[in-house]
Amino acid sequence: MRVMEIGVLSLFITGLFPGTSMAGKVVIVCDSAASYAGTTLNFLTWHDLITYREDTLLTVKVKEDGTFEGSFTLDETAKIFVRPGIYEAWFYAEPGKTYKIMLPPRKDKTMKDVLNPYFRPVTLQLGVIQAGEKNLNRQIAALEKIYSPYFYRHARKVFVDKRDTTLNRFIQSVRDTFADVDNPFFIDYLNARMAMLTVMNLPERATVLDEYRDFGERVLFHNPAYMELFNQIFNRYFNYLLHHKYKNRLIAALETTGYDSLIGIIKSDLALDYEDFVDMVALKGIYDAWYHNTFSHDKLMVLLERFIALDGNPEIKQMAMDIKRKFTWLQAGTRAPDFILPDLEGQKISLTGMQGKYVYLNFSSRLSYSSLREFPLLVKLQERYGNQLQIVTVALEDHPEILKSFVREKGYGWTFLICGDTCNLPGKYNVRVYPTYYLIDPEGKLVLSPAPAPTEDFESRFRRLLKKVRTEGVSIF
């Protein structure tokens, strides 16, 4: 998919914005989760749909009789998801409504699943009981059942034949099928899904005509279908501009971190004056440019700060802040994510409680050969630098007693913390392989992120750091 196919925005913008949303309490009830008794469930949503930052809306513990109930407040309709065991289950919640849900049969992750960097959860839609035929979740499920198979057939046909002559008939049949549905969120969702098919069918970027300039009253920040289409159309948008008539202007705007210049380029290219939409396109461009190393990170960060300083739409400001948070997450010099985990004796240990020494934090498992190979070298580091360096192993473990016996038998004298199959700390530290290491300074800030393993000459790096601190009183990083 190429960014050039922007003109089709008209197809899903028209009629996207009927009505407004009001905040309301959402209640979730379940009386059939006996297999989950005693487990804790977190119901989440996406904070924004560019970075896909997650927010926890509700945390509940399933009672022994398999029931639970909880509530949260939503400003507008949102996709809600929960990750019990191997599943990622979702449904759409509308403000002011109560949902009686049914969880899938319990199937916990194995430690093999937890350690597998390629593990993907089984995604499914949560059952919503007594919802009625016109319920939003049933309508979306019915649409996706029609749309998804056609989408993949359509994609293959466009790839081979360059065009799909069945598209218009399909779109009309879908619209006829759902002609009597009047839910505004669903209508927006349907329009975005049909526009995605049309985007794929265009051979090149279409001109945004005058009739398409009215993009409605707002951007659908939290409609996944809309934002999926937006992200697809504007994928690596700055890269597209670099290969067209705006190349020199774009380079100058980014080099001088000129917000007004960048916005002017986008307005000219899209022939649009709708500020929120143009700002969204700019933020998407900054986000993609960062991860593809298209421009200087320092320049992009300054430009992003200018978006954060704006007094405009708070959704745009918050999205800019989310992007900055993702850019700077786990960077050297930032504060390491805190945690509280049990040690081998069941005592709760926190990162903030370790301040005063450097912390060599590692995520490991006794089931990982690479982890076990590093442990003897950690023993030597403990012996040589124990006064200045505290070694902490976050152990991915579903049998704490086995780990406890293993550590005692080997005589490992540093701190081991237990992280079970529901522990989310590896995700906070962006752990993809085991072992993974970080070095944290005595004030709780990341120094080496990630840090080299003991087999990758960590000791010499740490010695240089200590020498630099002793002689100059500052970190080398």
pLDDT values of the chain reduced to their tens digit, one per residue, 477 residues: 333 333 334 333 333 434 344 579 999 999 999 999 999 999 999 999 999 999 999 999 999 999 999 999 999 999 999 999 999 999 999 999 999 999 999 999 888 888 887 889 999 999 898 766 679 999 999 999 999 998 888 777 766 666 667 888 899 999 999 999 999 999 999 988 988 887 777 655 444 333 334 444 568 999 999 999 888 888 899 998 998 889 999 999 999 988 999 999 998 888 777 889 999 999 999 999 999 888 899 999 999 999 999 878 899 999 999 999 999 999 999 999 999 999 999 999 999 999 889 999 999 998 888 999 999 999 999 999 999 999 999 999 888 999 999 999 999 999 999 998 678 899 899 998 899 999 999 999 999 999 999 999 999 999 999 998 888 765 444
Which residues touch 196 (CB under 8 Å, ≥6 apart)? 151, 225, 228, 229, 232
C-beta of residue 307 within 8 angstroms of C-beta of residue 320: yes
The one-letter code for the residue type at 476 is I
Q: Are 84 and 41 in contact (CB under 8 A)?
A: yes
Q: Residue 110: name the closest of 432, 422, 371 by CA.
A: 422
Which two three-digit tokens encode residue 374? 């590093």
Q: Quote the CA–CA distance of 477 and 462 in Å, as a whole number.
A: 11
Domain parsing of the chain, residue ranges: 8-226, 234-328, 340-472
Q: What is the DSSP letter of 430?
A: T
Residue type, 315: E
Burial pattern 10-46, b for ≥16 Cβ within 10 A else e, equals bbbbeebbeeebeeeebebebeebebbeebebbbbbb
Q: How many Cα neighbours within 13 Å face the side chain of 318? A: 11
Three-state SS sequence of 389-417? EEEEEEEECCCHHHHHHHHHHHCCCCEEE
Chain mean position to CA 151: 24
What is residue 10's predicted lDDT score, i.e. its pLDDT?
A: 38
Class of domain 340-472: alpha beta
Q: What is the pLDDT of residue 159?
A: 66
Contacts of 359 (CB under 8 A, 6+ apart): 336, 351, 389, 390, 391, 392, 439, 440
